[in-house]
Amino acid sequence: MTEEHAPESGSDENPENGESAGQDFTIDRIDMGPGWVCFQVGEHPPPIEQLPAALNHCFCTWLQRNSEFQVRTTLPIVERGCTVAMHIWFD
């Protein structure tokens, strides 16, 4: 399992330093198997209204660092109308 840190929306800070305007929250990236990862709330979750943006930020950062991957499909996990996790399959 790898921990990703998501900066506050609109922040230019590095997503790996885990600090953003005094906030520190984590999104975990779990390697589920070959060609399959899951991004989900970590030990220190962001406020629920910021969760979709935090998940998106971590996913986009991961994708930029792994530009050789081609995403085949995604599966958002939604709880009470809010995306709380994302499964990503890639080649």
What's the confidence (pLDDT) of residue 1?
A: 55
What's the confidence (pLDDT) of residue 8?
A: 38
pLDDT, tens only, 52-87 = 889 999 999 999 999 999 999 999 999 888 888 999
Region of 41 on the Ramachandran plot (φ > 0 left; ψ -120 to 50 alpha; else beta): beta
Per the structure, the count of domains in the chain is: 1
Instruction: Provide the domain limits for residue 68.
Output: 2-90
CB 28 within 8 Å of CB 51:
no
Average of per-residue pLDDT values in the chain: 79
What's the confidence (pLDDT) of residue 43?
A: 86
Smallest Cα–Cα separation from 85: which of 32, 28, 43, 8? 28
